[in-house]
Structure 1
């Protein structure tokens, strides 16, 4: 497939020009829409609440990137929705389908023209036994007249957090080698522009699975300060698993990771600024930014004990109201479960992840009191839940 799937600008007014190009990557963590996709197992993943979407949009606005690669995007529709929530929306979106069973994809939003797209979701890996877990789209951008840049957003196979990860290591190793095969193929076909691979590699710089990539490609994030150079925290340990790697002539001016304890993702964005040999031609999108959504204006109101009624709104954002039956801590993980009935299969459960618990004072005192919670309803192990992460979700 060699065409860009979405152009959001019908007329192309120009923005300011200079010789610096800012490139960023951000794993936005489960950017799912509010519709059940019958072809993917998405009903067990909570879409972001509108409160979380606003926080996510604010973070992206803060980056100010000319080119933004994203991971864990469900589809083009939810990406367009997010774009309208930005104070300065992007003119171009590149999105191609991937192989992930859960339905997560990579994408690019850009202020410079996307000339073409090339998908590699069926590229054979490891003796044709595997494919890229989330594909390998390559977008040819044209930051200035006659000068192009190849951008490949990537999301390698996830790492298992329990037990050994032998299969994951083999898969990520095959993906790393596959990236280099694709790059060699592009070079052989006459694509001589600088190549940027950016995204969530799900492993660290010194891992065996990524060795071939770091032997061949340069790491733009290496110029970030050591104390700033991490993108993910697991069990209290800071680690960098998100990278901006490149092949070809690019002069990296600066790089940094944006750490925000109030962020709407478990990853930190990585960004770098490179010198471009000609003035960068940025394009403004002809759509209004900072928009509210129709879902916010017409939100269903439901009884927290009416599971049959709530199932008709699966994945949609609702206002659920009821009396709190119990407040419980999970045995591991530090999460909180707010239950509206004795049997969780017959009533709603509100899930507060450990990272959000500190935002709510006096949670234990909620027992026996009325509570209204706003958020998307999703299915988890036979029960219906709403994920509560922001005070704005309480009424």
Structure 2
């Protein structure tokens, strides 16, 4: 008899809306093609649980559950921005229970500027897309906690023009630089918020508590914002200290990206260049179980530009699914 494994991953589903609205596919045929593409990829990797992002409509996620067939279920966050209502969720064929939602910045973290007018909206003190922590019961009966995350995008949108439509090109390079700085500040504050959530869930017991933080971080594994997630430094995979136990192991999160095969170390292609912006982070309790890490996509990952609206009718997603097999 083979050893039982649990396959856990993360996938940005790219504007999963039902057709007919401002963001989803233009017609039912394109929508059904997308659902089939998503479901085929989930099946192909043998996924048991996925942290998902860019769920625009819980009803659309329910349609994906129906496409996957019996045994699947989904839960979604209740925190999202009204102007573009995408949220995170968890898609599972194992028992799942929501543990906590997190959005508010932790104490001590000041509001961040999100536009030229200054910090005047509530999102300056909270994540635009709340994080969702869920308890998963594995087939063995063991339990782990999965946190689904989607940080502020690197793809910039600018204040609407006279026609009221959002712009994806700046008026000048000064505006581009300012908007990029606002986005970076917000992404960093969101990373601090998730790190605080991880601290609450681990309670300094990372050697015994299985925790996965997974999602679209919108930045690479070595970026300053992503490194905020890791906690105590000095023991990242791929470094000389990785195999050396130390007192930071009780709080640390390890990014599994170094365990990706060399040719799979990207999860999105922007302007022809591969970027690894989707991540799986695990506590010490899961590090030895994370035996195999991969990315998957139903075809060739497309190269994207700055205007997301051009992909409304595209099948599947502009991100790869990243997943780990837990022995």
Q: Check whether TM > 0.5.
A: yes
Match among 137, 142, 149 for residue 147 of structure 1? 142
Distance 2:2 2:71 in 1: 16
Quote the residue 2:322 is aligned against: 270
Alignment of 1:256 with 2:294, yes or no, is yes
More helix by share: 2
Quote the residue 1:356 is aligned against: none
Quote the residue 1:127 is aligned against: 110
Distance 1:145 1:254 in 2: 19
Q: Does structure 2 retain, via aligned residues, the 8 Å contact 1:106–1:153? A: yes
Match among 56, 74, 94 for residue 56 of structure 2? 74
Q: With the length of structure 2 as denominator, give the TM-score of the two structures.
A: 0.70
Q: Does structure 1 retain, via aligned residues, the 8 Å contact 2:12–2:53? A: yes
Q: Alignment partner of 1:244: what SS?
A: strand
Residue 45 of structure 1 and its aligned partner are, at CA, apart by 4.6
Match among 128, 132, 136 for residue 137 of structure 1? 132
Distance 1:167 1:189 in 2: 33
Residue 64 of structure 1 and its aligned partner are, at CA, apart by 1.6
Matches within 5 A, 1:71-110: 71-86=53-68, 88-101=69-82, 102-110=84-92
Number of residue-to-residue matches in the alignment: 253
Q: CA RMSD in A?
A: 2.6
Show structure 1 runs of 4+ deviating over 4 A. Answer: 189-192
Q: With the length of structure 1 as denominator, give the TM-score of the two structures.
A: 0.59
Query: Structure 1, residues 62-116: CA drift from partner, whole Å, max 9, x if none?
Result: 1220111111112221111111112x44433221212223110111111221133
Residue 124 of structure 1 and its aligned partner are, at CA, apart by 4.3
Alignment of 1:51 with 2:48, yes or no, is no
Q: Does structure 1 retain, via aligned residues, the 8 Å contact 2:257–2:280? A: yes
Q: Does structure 2 retain, via aligned residues, the 8 Å contact 1:24–1:270? A: yes
Residue 240 of structure 1 and its aligned partner are, at CA, apart by 0.3
Q: Does structure 2 retain, via aligned residues, the 8 Å contact 1:119–1:136? A: yes
Query: Structure 1, residues 196-253: CA drift from partner, whole Å, max 9, x if none?
Result: 0111100111212222223442012321112211001111111100011112311211
Q: Alignment partner of 2:130: what SS?
A: coil
C-alpha spacing 1:29/1:52, structure 2 compared with 1 (3 Å): same
Quote the residue 1:243 is aligned against: 279
Quote the residue 2:162 is aligned against: none
Alignment of 1:31 with 2:23, yes or no, is no
Q: Alignment partner of 2:103: what SS?
A: coil
Quote the residue 2:94 is aligned against: 112
> Which structure: larger Rg?
1
Q: Alignment partner of 1:182: what SS?
A: helix
Residue 147 of structure 1 and its aligned partner are, at CA, apart by 2.5
Match among 8, 17, 22 for residue 7 of structure 2? 22
C-alpha spacing 1:203/1:258, structure 2 compared with 1 (3 Å): same
C-alpha spacing 1:123/1:270, structure 2 compared with 1 (3 Å): same
Unaligned runs of 5+ in 1: 1-15, 37-42, 276-395
Matches within 5 A, 1:330-345: none
Quote the residue 1:195 is aligned against: 211
Distance 2:195 2:189 in 1: 10
Q: Alignment partner of 2:318: what SS?
A: coil
Match among 137, 142, 167 for residue 182 of structure 2? 167
